[in-house]
Amino acid sequence: MIEVRNLKKIYADEESQTKALDGVSFAIKKGEFVAIMGPSGSGKSTLMHILSYMDRPSSGQYTFLGRQINELSDHDLAHIRNENMGFVFQAFNLLSSSTVYENVELPLIYSAVSPGSRRPLVEDAIASVGLVDKTYVSAGKLSGGQKQRVAIARALVNNPDVIFADEPTGNLDSVSGAQVMEIFEKLNASGRTVILVTHETYTAQFANRLIRLRDGKIEVDEPITNRRKTSEEFFK
Residue 16 pLDDT: 84
Cβ atoms of residues 176 and 148 within 8 Å? yes
155: confidence class by pLDDT, cuts 50, 70, 90: very high
Nearest to 3 by CA among 90, 67, 82: 67
CB atoms within 10 A of CB 8: 15
Q: Work out the average pLDDT over 203-228.
A: 91
Cβ atoms of 15 and 35 closer than 8 Å: no
Whether residue 189 has pLDDT greater than 90: yes
Region 144-166: mean pLDDT is 95
Per-residue pLDDT band at 235 (split at 50, 70, 90)? very low
Count how many domains the chain has.
1
Eight-state DSSP code of residue 39? -
The CA-atom distances, in angstroms, between 44 and each of 38, 78, 92, 142, 169 are 6, 21, 19, 30, 16
Rounded mean pLDDT, 14-43: 93
Its pTM stands at 0.90
Report residue 234's pLDDT band, with 50, 70 and 90 as the boundaries. very low
* 183, 148 contact by CB (below 8 A): no
Better-scored residue on pLDDT, 110 or 184 = 184
- pLDDT for position 110: 84
Residue 152 belongs to what domain range?
Answer: 2-233
Does 146 score more than 60 pLDDT?
yes
Total residues belonging to the chain: 236
Helix H or strand E encompassing 60: strand 59-64
Percent of the chain with pLDDT over 90: 82
Q: Is the pLDDT of residue 33 over 50?
A: yes
In Å, how far from its chain's centre is CA 40?
A: 19
- Quote the pLDDT of residue 38: 93
Q: What values do phi and psi take at 186, rounded to 5?
A: -65, -40
Chain segment 111-140, per-residue pLDDT in tens: 878 888 999 999 999 999 999 999 999 999
How confident is the model at residue 14, as a pLDDT? 73
Q: Where are the beta strands (DSSP E) in 65-216?
A: 67-68, 85-89, 162-166, 193-197, 209-214
How many Cα atoms sit within 13 Å of 65 on the Cβ side?
13
| Chain segment 78-108, per-residue pLDDT in tens | 999 999 999 999 899 999 999 999 999 999 9
Q: For residue 76, is pLDDT > 50?
A: yes
Neighbours of 172 (CB within 10 A): 21
pLDDT at 123: 96
Q: What is the CATH number of the domain that holds 132?
A: 3.40.50.300
Is 180's pLDDT higher than 60? yes
Predicted pLDDT at 233: 54
| Angle at 199 (CA atoms; ends 4, 81), nearest 5 degrees | 45
